[in-house]
Structure 1
Amino acid sequence: MSWRTVVVSSSAKLDYQMGYLVVRKDTTTKIHLGEIRTLLIESTAVSLTAALLSELVKKKVKVIFCDEKRNPSAEMMPYYGSHDCSLKIKRQTTWSDDIKGAVWTEIVFEKIRQQKCLLQELGKNEAMLLQEYLGEIEYGDATNREGHAAKVYFNALFGKSFTRTDDLLINAALNYGYSILLSAFNREIVLNGYLTQLGLFHDNMFNQFNLASDLMEPFRPLVDRLVSHMTLVEFEHTQKMELVNLMNQEVIINERCELISNAIKIYCKSVFDALEDADVSLIRFYRK
């Protein structure tokens, strides 16, 4: 099972050799492709061979490219992530609005519940208000409890004047962490044979990752927890690596302790089972 997140943060040449990723700098490092789950190219001074990229696709390694500011800007996705992807996509286009609405309701409930748990953990009184919102959630979140909870939640975490649109280090850290999560969800969606563009609730014509944007919602508080504990006087390589390493932390899912990266895999598969069988009881959420 792949588990490594490999980060290349300075000038290097990357190529493929007999099953290994070869990183050539002042010294040469070899890492077996079977161990790599994600390859993060943080520097624009990195060159890669087409042979390596081809093998990374075959091994289903998620490759993320960063811009000149070292922020994730693109990712590499295979055309075919599953042997039966044509069948899966046909089914995806026929998921009923009823089951999509039911699954989205479960996702929103769990997201707010995780937000409430984080506020309780931090001793914030606003957790009580989020508990009230949980009791008010309607099918498809028709009354937008998610939006109301988000305002209360972020103000409790980062201060009354905080908004997600402000140009702040906190928002830079949140956005970076969310982009790592989004990429992990895109990987699992493609590996399961589905299209990332067709969401349950998110339906932005300019968003290629509507489905990942839906599924990742309950996992956002994991990023929020980490950022809330960071003392941000800058947001550079060290802070970014803290967020990348989030994927190697552990949570409980299916009554087992799993890495977050593997919990995402289990959760995504359970959501797809729920959508295919029209049974939301099949969804498996994590516990911190």
Structure 2
Amino acid sequence: MPGRVVEISTDGLHLAVLRGFLVVKDGEGERGRVPLDDIDAIIASAHGLTFSANLLHALADRNVPFVVCGPNHMPVSLMLPVAGHHAQTGRVRAQITAPLPLTKRLWQGLVQAKVRNQGAALAHQGVSSGAFTTLARQVRSGDPTNIEAQAARRYWPLLMGTDFRRDNEAGGANALLNYGYAILRSGAARAVVAAGLHPSIGIHHSNKGNPMALVDDVMEPFRPLVDLAVLRLIRAGVAEVTAEAKRDLAAILIQDLTTTRGTTPLSTCLHRLATSLADSYQTGEPRLDLPLSPLPLDLAAGPGRPMEDEDGADWISDHVDDGPV
């Protein structure tokens, strides 16, 4: 069963662990609890949070990322375990020594998938996407002609309007995208570490200040899922990062995708992709396990189906805010 994304947005809370549960407390006592084994990621976006070392230890044992976001909803810290797989040393060594032709082929596959899925996102909105099919076919090993950037220049005006500019520091749609990508990035980070790979050693991303270069590579094909979820929120009148928006965007990780093995949640697809990447490094053959493309991007009813907790309350993610968990 896909896990939950726990988002902490109320100031001054304390997070601890008790008998296998994440426990959330304030000055008046316990606010709520969630089984640790049900959690895919914790997103901390509030001020004045405190948390115990025992909690971080328990999360690391389960490969659960703890993400701290800044005021613009961009991640500023992501805590992951040092060891996430029994064969980690060999896999990281293969990752470091991977020959350039292999990494260029791997990047080609990721860019092709991303461009095809951007076209699928546009087609979902009734926009002609034939150019994106053509662009995907034109991606060569290593993407030397930067088809990824060419596709992005066409994609954003067609999806979000000609006045839209992607800006990490802006509010509105950009802030929603930041938050959605933070959710996606946390899922990709967990998958990368669980596969025994080092998140800082990227395929294409190589900024010296980016400790999550490989994570950013792995999440690229799935970004259009976030883009469509944000577009749906905007059309519903949700123009800022509200509690409602956070619940919808947190459900991205449980979005069902079609694979060769049937319908599979996005979080599982990330794990399969990361595992296939580790195998590619070790065998020297670029064989990435990606969902069937174009992705089934039917988000008309929202990005995920609400789950129910034991008390019957509706959940899309576990959102600790002004009400009970």
TM-score, normalised to structure 2, is 0.82
Give 3-state SS (helix, strand or coil) of 2:233's partner: coil
Q: 1:120 is matched with which residue: 123, 126, 130?
A: 123
Give 3-state SS (helix, strand or coil) of 1:274's partner: helix
Q: Corresponding residue for 2:271?
A: 265
Comparing 31-40 and 160-169, the one that deviates more: 160-169
Give 3-state SS (helix, strand or coil) of 1:60's partner: coil
Q: Corresponding residue for 1:145?
A: 147
Q: Give the partner amino acid of 1:173.
A: L
**Matched positions, count:** 287
Q: CA deviation at 1:28?
A: 4.3
Give 3-state SS (helix, strand or coil) of 2:264's partner: strand
Comparing 135-144 and 276-285, the one that deviates more: 276-285
- Aligned 8 A contact 1:271 1:284 in 2: no
Q: Corresponding residue for 1:81?
A: 84
Q: Corresponding residue for 2:317?
A: none
Distance 2:254 2:48 in 1: 27
Matches within 5 A, 1:16-27: 16-25=17-26, 26=28, 27=30
Q: Corresponding residue for 1:218?
A: 221
Q: CA deviation at 1:31?
A: 2.4
Higher relative contact order (CA 8 A, sep 6+): 2
- Aligned 8 A contact 1:43 1:68 in 2: no
**Does residue 244 in structure 1 map to residue 245 in structure 2?**
no
Distance 1:90 1:206 in 2: 22
Q: Corresponding residue for 1:9?
A: 9
Q: Deviations over 1:74-107 (max 9, x none)?
A: 1211112223322221111111111111111111
Taking a change above 3 Å as real, the CA distance of residues 2 and 243 of structure 1, as seen in their structure-2 partners, is closer
**Does residue 174 in structure 1 map to residue 177 in structure 2?**
yes
Give 3-state SS (helix, strand or coil) of 1:207's partner: coil
Comparing 211-220 and 85-94, the one that deviates more: 85-94
Give 3-state SS (helix, strand or coil) of 2:154's partner: helix
Distance 1:171 1:56 in 2: 30
Q: Flag structure 1 segments of 5+ consecutive residues without an equivalent.
A: none
Comparing 262-271 and 232-241, the one that deviates more: 232-241
Q: Flag structure 2 segments of 5+ consecutive residues without an equivalent.
A: 297-325
**Does residue 198 in structure 1 map to residue 201 in structure 2?**
yes
Q: Deviations over 1:227-264 (max 9, x none)?
A: 11122433333212321121122112233212211221
Comparing 263-272 and 115-124, the one that deviates more: 263-272
Q: Report the identity percentage.
A: 28
Distance 2:72 2:110 in 1: 33
- Aligned 8 A contact 2:185 2:219 in 1: yes
Q: Corresponding residue for 2:320?
A: none
Distance 1:68 1:170 in 2: 15
TM-score, normalised to structure 1, is 0.91
Q: Give the partner amino acid of 2:13.
A: A
Q: 2:281 is matched with which residue: 275, 279, 286?
A: 275
**Does residue 59 in structure 1 map to residue 62 in structure 2?**
yes
Q: Deviations over 1:40-77 (max 9, x none)?
A: 22322332112222222122221112335665321211
Distance 2:133 2:56 in 1: 47
